[in-house]
Amino acid sequence: MHEPDPNNPDHDSPHPSEGGAAGHHSDQKSPVPEAANADSSHSSRADDTAAGPEVDLTETLRSWPIGGNRPTVRMIRTATGERAVQVRLELGILQLALNGRPDGRRPHGADSLLDWHIARLEAYRRSAGTDEDMHLTSKDCDALRNEGVQVYHRYVALFALEEYEAVVRDTGRNLRMFDLCRDFGASQGDRTVLEQFRPFVVMMRARAEAAIGLAGGDGRQALLAVERALAELRTHFDDHGPMGGFEQSSEVTLLRGMRDALVPRLPASQRSELEERLRRAVDAENFELAAILRDELRALDY
């Protein structure tokens, strides 16, 4: 399930020794808009623009054929002993570092551009006592979105590999990037363009959290993860629209299906009983109990 991509300019070419594509980049649509070339996402290493050795990839690609029921994602060990994710594409192989930026770069010496901007924001807050004058330029937001596209490709691959804790990490990371651009983007477009993709990322995080709960035999944790996501999506659509978007959302439909599989729907008689108990609690001015009963009824509507 993929959201449309508002723009799709070319990506930077990764350093040959780092994560990158062997053959060709994917044209798969991403749930964050891809960015124009953004210098602020690059490391300061002098060899970033140097050409790597010429390597014929024919045998590498032939050894991992595509099609049929063959897996298109795998985890490997690099020459340095680190784990990396590889995705087999029609015209090549995409390799993604498992930690930090998927392309292996360290912009400004940080693990990611997002980490660097967050550290910069926190330093500004400590110095100025406020963040009111803090903002991200459109170039900053472009670079953050570009980094987010890389992370998206990684967490989709990790989900296929059932590496659910890493999926939670990466989806949470992209949601923090959405928040940062929303709160500090200099232009209206930079503040709002990512919100259309938030439902997809929230859904993927909830699916991974639920899978972790079920793997540990904790069905309640799985159910709570789904219910939290549904509540978050309801708030999102209330704030950003469109009207009726919550009921029409494919992400909501999927999460509701997960919830229904985790717990049977209450019969109508039980709902009526809850409504009657709520009425009596309000009449008795037992507002604490009334609040609890309202939450239970509201949960049935998600």
CB contact at 8 A, 211 and 161: no
Angle of helix 138-160 versus helix 113-128 axis, rounded to 10: 130
Q: Give the H or E element holding residue 258.
A: helix 250-262
The end-to-end CA distance of the chain, in Å, is 21
Q: How far apart are CA 101 and CA 136, in angstroms?
A: 20
For the four alpha carbons of 50, 56, 58 and 60, in that order, the dihedral sign comes to negative
Q: Domain segments of the chain: what residues? A: 20-207, 268-301
Q: How far apart are CA 196 and CA 32, in angstroms?
A: 9
Instruction: Write the DSSP assignment of 90-105 as a string of letters.
Output: TTEEEEEESSSSTT--
Q: What's the DSSP call for residue 110? A: S
Length of the chain: 302
| Residue among 103, 145, 137, 102 at smallest CA distance from 120 | 137
Angle of helix 198-215 versus helix 164-184 axis, rounded to 10: 150
Decide: residue 130, CB within 10 A, 0-12 exposed, 13-18 middle, 19+ buried: exposed
| Residue among 69, 58, 68 at smallest CA distance from 93 | 58
Extract the tokens encoding 75. Answer: 């985890």
pTM of the model: 0.73
Q: How far apart are CA 240 and CA 266, in angstroms?
A: 30
Extract the tokens encoding 165. Answer: 């804790």
Which residues fall within 8 angstroms of residue 90, CB to CB, at 6 or more apart? Answer: 24, 66
Report the chain (302 residues): mean pLDDT per 10 consecutive residues: 38 37 42 45 48 86 89 94 96 96 97 97 92 93 98 97 98 98 96 97 98 92 93 94 92 94 68 82 83 75 58
Decide: residue 169, CB within 10 A, 0-12 exposed, 13-18 middle, 19+ buried: middle
Q: How far apart are CA 262 and CA 221, in angstroms?
A: 10
Q: Coil, helix or strand for 64?
A: coil
CB contact at 8 A, 172 and 151: no
